[in-house]
Amino acid sequence: MFPNQQDFKNALSHFASGVTVVTYSDMTRAGGLTVSSFTSLSLDPPLVLFCLQKGIVSHDALLASGKFTVNILSSNQEDLSNQFASSKVDKHDFLQKLACDLGLNGVPYLNGTLSRIECELEKEVDGGDHTVVIGRVLHVYFDDTLKPLLYYGRKYHTI
């Protein structure tokens, strides 16, 4: 017997994780979204993965762009996480207001993050109501002086 969706979500809320915003650009329009299902996959070659919900506006645009940046948020970036998680915010307009710089992969990145990982799309895998996105890491940046933004129990935390 499978658990109902709410019980499954409640169980997953007990897993503490870092908070990421994945940004992308398809040359005409940039976007981004908050992603909680991010992890490293391989060191050789360097690969990461995250899960992208099917049916959201960003799904097809991100995959079509062929490149993205994983921005690992710092403790003072809770508002950014909320903005990029909201379906009521036009992410392209929001990114323009933030005056983001472009990474080496041509994708806008968020300033003040704990880390950023610039990638090109390696592979996409069907995963039920999500697509598992695998990225080949092209460039990394990190700031050891910042603290991470964490998500646990449906609330933000830091250490």
At position 138, the amino acid (one-letter code) is L
What's the confidence (pLDDT) of residue 16?
87
Assess whether pLDDT exceeds 90 at residue 130: yes
Q: How many CB atoms lie within 10 A of CB 61?
A: 18
- Under the banding of pLDDT at 50, 70 and 90, the label for residue 133 is very high
Assess whether pLDDT exceeds 80 at residue 129: yes
Q: pLDDT for 12-57, tens place per residue? A: 888 889 999 999 998 788 999 999 899 999 999 999 999 999 999 8
Domains (ranges, CATH) in the chain?
Answer: 5-158 (2.30.110.10)
Q: Which is more confident, 148 or 93?
A: 148
At position 55, the amino acid (one-letter code) is G
What's the confidence (pLDDT) of residue 96?
86
Can you tell me the mean pLDDT for 101-118? Answer: 96
Helices (H) and strands (E) in the chain, counts: 4, 12
Q: Which residues contact 129 (CB under 8 A, 6 or more apart)?
A: 53, 54, 55
What's the confidence (pLDDT) of residue 88?
85
Q: Which is more confident, 69 or 96?
A: 69
- Under the banding of pLDDT at 50, 70 and 90, the label for residue 77 is very high
